[in-house]
Every structure is written in C-alpha cells, then in structure tokens.
Amino acid sequence: MSDTEISPLQDPTQEAQETANENPLLAAIDLGSNSFHIIVARMAQGEIRTVERLGEKVQLAAGLDEQQNLTEEAQERALNCLSRFAPFLTGIQHDNIRIVGTNALRAAHNSQQFLNKAEAILGFPLEVISGREEARLIYVGAAHSLATQKGRRLVVDIGGGSTEFIIGEGFEPLALESLHMGCVAYTQRFFNDGQITAKRFQQAVLAAKNELLNIVKPYKKLGWQQIVGTSGTIKAAATVLQQQGWSEHNITREGLVKLSRELVKFKQLDQVEIEGLKADRAKVFPAGIAILLAIFELLDLDEMEYTEGALREGILYDLVGRFSHQDIREQTVNALIERYQVDAQHGQNISTTALHLYQQVKKQWQLQGDDFNLLLRWAAQLHEIGLAIAHSQFHKHGAYLLQHSDLSGFSRQQQSVLAVLVRSHRRKFPMIEFRLLPDSLQQPLIYLAILIRLSVLLNHSRPDEAITCVEIKVEEKQINLQFPENWLEENPLMQTDLELESQYISGSGLTLAFS
C-alpha cells in the first residue's frame, strides 16, 4: 500500500466527525464597553484549544448619550461588528455558545432594543451580566491561563466602562468587585475634548483612587501573593513598557510613572504614538494608564504580570463546567437555600412534580432547550425564599431577593426570569410581569409558571414524597389534569384548590380542567 492510499477500514471523514463529536466547538462573544471579542475553541484533553479569535474596537461606552441611551451610531458600529462575527458561529451547537454584555449594556437604558437587533443578526440569545459576575468569569479565565501555585492572587481587569478586582485561590474567587471606572468612560470624563494635560491626568488618577477607597481595606486584609493583570489596557501597558525598556518583564510602578510623564507630553489624544501601542487604542490609553497608576499607588503594588486569560476564556471554561456537571449556578442555588433557610425537602418535592409535568408537555409547548428545565427546577426549589422576610406576600419578597442579589453564574435576564417565576407561583397571575420580558420568552415562561403553580398546589399538604401520579395533557389553550380513580374524592380539599386555581390561571389566557 502506498503512502497516499487509505485503508478501507479507515474513513477520514468519519474519524473527523467522531473527533468533533467528542470535542465539540465552543464559542464565546464578549460585548465589552471598549472592544467586542469572539473566541471559537475546541475542548480537547482537558484544555481549551483556540480555533479562531477576533476582536474589534467598537467603543460602545462612548455611544452613551446624556440620557444613558446608546446612540444609533454606536448601535450601528456594534451591529456591523456582530455581522462580521456571525459566520464564526455557523455549525456550533446552540448550548455551546454564550454571548455576554458588560458595563455599557448594564448602563444603557435602551439596551434591550440593541439586544433584540443583535440577536436577530447572530441567531442566538444575548445576556447582560452583573459586574460581579463579570469579575468571576474574568478570574476563571485568568486562573486557567496561569501556572498553579499556592497562595492567593489579585487579578485586575481594566475595561472600557468598569474595572474588575478579584482575589482568589486556585480556581476559586474569594472576593469580587466591579468599580465604575474604565478607559473609555474616563476618556470621556477627563479628556473629552481630546486635550491631555498633567492636571487632567492627575484628576483622573485621583478619581480612580476615590473609587478604590471602597475596597482597599478589605482587599489588603484578605491579602495576596501574586498580582495579575488582564485585558487591553494592561496588555498595552506591558507591551509599551517593554518596548521602551522601562521594564524587563512585568509592569512596574516606576515604569508607569515614566509612561505617564511621556503621555502628557503629547498634549492631544490623536497625537499619542508610542512604540508598541496600537493606533486603535491610543485615544483611550492615557485614561487607562491613569486608572492603572491609581491602582498601583493605592494598593501599594510594585509589580504586576500580564496574562492572556480574561472574560471570554472564562466564559468558555464556565460552559465546559456546565457540561461536566460543575455548573456554578447549582452552587449558587444551594447557597441561597442554606442562607435563607428554605425548606429544601419541600422545594425538592415541588421541583420533582414540576419536572414530571414538564416532561409531558415540553414538546407541545415547545419548551425544549434554552435551560427551561433548569430554570423550572431552580424556581421550584426557591419558590419559598421570600419567607425569610415575611409570610405576607412572600412570593413578592422572593422575587425581589432573586432580582437584586448577586447570583454567581446567572445573567441579569436569568435572574429576572427566576424572579418572575417565583413572583407568579401563587395568587393572581401577574401578566404585567411577563410583558416586561423579551417577546420570545414571554409565552414559554408563562407555561413554566403554570407548571410551578400546579406543582405547589399538588404538594399543598407538604407530603413526604412528591406527587407524581398526575397526568397532564394540553391542547391549544386548554390544560387537562387527570388524576387516578377516586383520588380527588379522597382529597376533597385538592378539588377546592383546583377550582380556585382555574380562576387564577384564566388570567394567563389558558383554561384549566381536571378529572
């Protein structure tokens, strides 16, 4: 057999397909306040191996007007970038893609308008994450890119609209914070007319120090043995300092002072030109260096190393964790149950009944995928969390806690979904709450809410084991519950509850019948 011949027992196409199935493609898109990034990778032998990587300066934060709305021009820049990203998602499984927005989209009052347009281009849902969730994911990405060592590390990420600070050990973050200062935001605030002066630069440094005062004491008390920076500003600083010979390897305080003096000599942002600095970062570089210098001075840092791992890598590793049953959201839900002393057994019974009903209707109600079963289970487990505040209207208290707490692993939209499901599990059906959610989610979540309501009702007497003897059938807007023979006669209170529930459910546009 020649070297070019292929054995009939080997099919390279099949072999490649098997490899792809075992190591599927993953994709993460980071919609940052300064830059948008996409990374496509494959998980192989416990490592994420990059297949494609692309980044563009969009400066979304610069497109926030006085009313904190994204301008049409800024949206157009962002959507054009996403149009170039979209082809990279072709062929990747839906559950293997995560697209997150950060500070600029947290701040924009019209962010949902933009998200709807972006979703139409990409064909996948987008989520806006909280500052602390952003910090957690940054730490996950950085930790996986660094050599394992004993002790704590401080990770700093200067973005366009916010700066994240994390202290962690190994792969576990111990302290998370996101402060409202970033290279784009500070450029607009201190250098908005394009002028650079020593006075303005110092004002930016002092403003950053003022923001840092909130975390200095607790962070120093916790302490660290390693200092790591990540993302654009810090990468650019490391590159410039080395190119200029102001540091050998890491970023140093002495080097930053020299760099600061050099920057103010340019007088104009559009004249900033230093060896090692990319032209598309030059205009926001002085503001970023002002923030970095403030961090060094107030936290008493002498040196900082740079690592490539950041938010988008953290998103990928978080996705991998979900596949391997290490979903941080599970830990978060369990922590909430413990913190607020929720009746875990009863919550589990509600969850079991809800999933029993879900399996029977998911096809007709088109509830497959998109984490619907997970959201249903978590909302069922947490439906009584509001009792920690008061029994009266505890469903509303529970919704408030879930909406406004920092929940690791959850996007703001997922928190809103959990809040609405908990809010709607009893009493009047709150249709107005569902109308505040994205159009594509409204009807599916109404269905999930009904499944939780029915599960709570069926387990009203708090039995030792979940009620799973009920069959549910749906047809158009009709819901039919079928009980075992004589079951309702033996449980007369249940029949009364069902009659009242049928009135509540009618508020959702559906009707309930039972026999």
Give domain status of residue 481, yes or no: yes
Residues 87 and 120 in one domain: yes
Cα-based distances in Å from 338 to 128, 285, 334, 459: 27, 45, 6, 21
Q: Point out which residues pair with 379 in neighbouring strands.
A: none
Mean pLDDT of the region 209-230: 96
Using pLDDT thresholds of 50, 70 and 90, give the confidence band for residue 320.
Answer: confident
**Does residue 321 fall inside a structural domain?**
no
Contact predicate 105/95, CB 8 Å: no
Q: What's the pLDDT tens digit per position in 85-102?
A: 999 999 999 889 999 999
Instruction: Give the per-residue pLDDT at 301.
Output: 97
pLDDT recorded at residue 15: 38
- Mean pLDDT within 224-244: 94
- Number of domains into which the chain is organized: 3
Pair 94, 136 in one domain: no
**Helix or strand holding residue 255 (H, E):** helix 253-264
State yes or no: pLDDT of 295 exceeds 90: yes
Q: What pLDDT does 476 receive? A: 87
Confidence of residue 133 (pLDDT cuts 50, 70, 90): very high
Mean pLDDT of the 152-175 span: 95
DSSP letter for 70, please. Answer: B
- The answer to whether residues 286 and 243 belong to one domain is yes
Instruction: Over range 180-209, report the average pLDDT.
Output: 96
Q: Any bridge partners for residue 97, and if so which?
A: 27
Asked if pLDDT for residue 337 goes beyond 50, the answer is: yes
Specify the CATH number for the domain of residue 414: 1.10.3210.10
Which pLDDT belongs to residue 410? 87
The pLDDT of residue 438 is above 80: yes
pLDDT on residue 323: 66
Asked if residue 2 has pLDDT above 70, the reply is no
Classify each residue of 130-164 as buried b or exposed e, where b means 16 or more C-beta atoms within 10 Å of its C-beta.
bbbbbbbbbbbbbbbbbeeeeebbbbbbbbbbbbb
- The DSSP annotation for 102-151 comes to -HHHHH-TTHHHHHHHHHHHHSS--EE--HHHHHHHHHHHHHHHS---SS
As a whole number of angstroms, the distance between CA 40 and CA 28 comes to 7
Q: Same domain, yes or no, for 242 and 112?
A: no
SS3 33: coil
CATH number where 177 lies: 3.30.420.150
Q: Rounded distance, CA 80 to CA 60, Å?
A: 12
Reference 469, options 313, 324, 310, 352; nearest CA is 352
Tracing tokens 């809010």 back to the chain, one arrives at 423
Whether 10 shows a pLDDT value over 60: the answer reads no
Task: Give the domain extent around 23.
Answer: 14-129
Question: What is the predicted pLDDT for the residue at 166?
Answer: 97
Domain end, chosen from 113, 129, 145, is at 129
Whether 315 is in a domain gets the answer no
Residue-wise pLDDT tens digits, 342-358: 999 999 999 999 999 99
User: Quick one: pLDDT at residue 8?
Assistant: 36
Q: Tokens in use for 295?
A: 């961090």
| 205 shares its domain with 336 | no
As a whole number of angstroms, the distance between CA 207 and CA 127 comes to: 30
Are residue 349 and residue 479 in the same domain, yes or no? yes
Instruction: Tell me, yes or no, whether 259 lies in a domain.
Output: yes
Q: Is the same domain home to 158 and 269?
A: yes
Least Cα distance to 137 among 317, 325, 404, 335 occurs for 317
Q: Edge to edge, what strands does the sheet with 471-475 contain?
A: 471-475, 478-482, 511-514
Domain with residue 25: its CATH number is: 3.30.420.40
Q: Can you give the pLDDT at residue 22?
A: 64
Are residues 360 and 455 located together in one domain of the fold? yes
Write down the mean pLDDT value for the chain.
Answer: 91
Summarize the confidence of residues 323-345 as an average pLDDT: 87
Residue 34 lies in a domain: yes
Closest CA to 350 of 389, 376, 385: 376
Mean pLDDT in residue range 192-211: 96
Percentage, residues of the chain above pLDDT 70:
94
pLDDT tens per residue, range 495-504: 899 999 999 9
**314 belongs to a structural domain:** no
Last residue in a domain, options 242, 277, 309: 309
Can you tell me whether residue 418 is helix, strand or coil? helix
Q: Token digits for 217? A: 């004491």
In tens, the pLDDT along 120-129 reads 999 998 999 9
The domain boundary residue, chosen from 129, 155, 175: 129
The confidence band for 321, taking pLDDT boundaries of 50, 70 and 90, is confident
pLDDT band for 328, please (50, 70, 90 cuts).
confident
Q: Do 354 and 465 have their domain in common?
A: yes
Over residues 49-70, the pLDDT tens digits come to 899 999 999 999 999 999 999 9
The yes-or-no verdict on residue 325 having pLDDT over 70 is: no
Could you tell me the pTM of the whole model? 0.83
The answer to whether residue 277 scores a pLDDT higher than 80 is yes
In a domain, residue 76? The reply is: yes
**Phi, psi for residue 464 in degrees, rounded to 5:** -65, -35
* 299 and 399 assigned to the same domain: no
Least confident residue range of 135-144, 278-287, 404-413: 404-413
**CA–CA dist 438, 115 (Å, integer):** 10
Q: Check residue 243 and give its pLDDT.
A: 92
Pair 181, 221 in one domain = yes
The least confident of 311-315, 317-321, 447-451 is 317-321
Instruction: Assess whether 240 and 141 both reside in one domain.
Output: yes
State residue 18's pLDDT score. 39
* Residue that has been written with the tokens 């170039």 in this structure: 84
Position 385 in a domain: yes
- Whether the per-residue pLDDT at 327 is higher than 90: the answer is no
**What distance in Å separates the CA atoms of residue 261 and residue 198, rounded to the nearest whole number?**
8
pLDDT of residue 6: 32
Report the pLDDT averaged over residues 36-59.
88
Task: Output the pLDDT for position 48.
Answer: 81
Q: CA angle at residue 115 from 315 to 232, to 5 degrees?
A: 45
Q: What local confidence, expressed as pLDDT, does residue 411 receive?
A: 86
Question: Do residues 9 and 79 make contact, with C-beta atoms less than 8 angstroms apart?
Answer: no
Q: How confident is residue 409, by pLDDT bands cut at 50, 70 and 90?
A: confident
Residue 67 pLDDT: 94
